[in-house]
Amino acid sequence: AQSVTQPDIHITVSEGASLELRCNYSYGATPYLFWYVQSPGQGLQLLLKYFSGDTLVQGIKGFEAEFKRSQSSFNLRKPSVHWSDAAEYFCAVGENFGNEKLTFGTGTRLTIIP
């Protein structure tokens, strides 16, 4: 069975600082990996996804993530965070390309301090 681990429950960074959110997955085949962001009381918005090809993927809002098969990781990064980035971030893994059901990590809550 597939699983996703987000080791950091809560991260606090200063506005303008760089950010890295960790995600490790467990899956027997080639995973389909996603990062979603959720603002309080809202649904989820897709930041980026990896299916195949270039292991460094660019997403919206200046985010990027790198797939490292050897480390079973798909960490999310942003060079300079903005106060509006404060939210909950979820990493997810899917079994198939497209709209199949996803397994989510427990999430990382990001707080931005001035």
Q: Which of 107, 95, 94 is nearest to 44 (CA)?
A: 107
Quickly count: other Cβ atoms within 10 Å of residue 100's Cβ. 9
Among 21, 87, 102, 110, contact with another protein (rule: CB under 8 A): 102
Contact between 60 and another protein (CB under 8 A)?
A: no
d(CA 84, CA 26): 31
> Taking CB under 8 A as the rule, does residue 54 contact another protein?
no
Among 76, 78, 107, 112, binds another protein (CB under 8 A): 107
Number of alpha carbons in the 13 Å side-chain half-sphere of residue 4 = 24
* Residue 36 in the binding site for another protein (CB under 8 A): yes
* Chain residues that interact with another protein, rule: CB under 8 A: 34, 36, 41-46, 49, 51, 90, 94, 97-107, 109
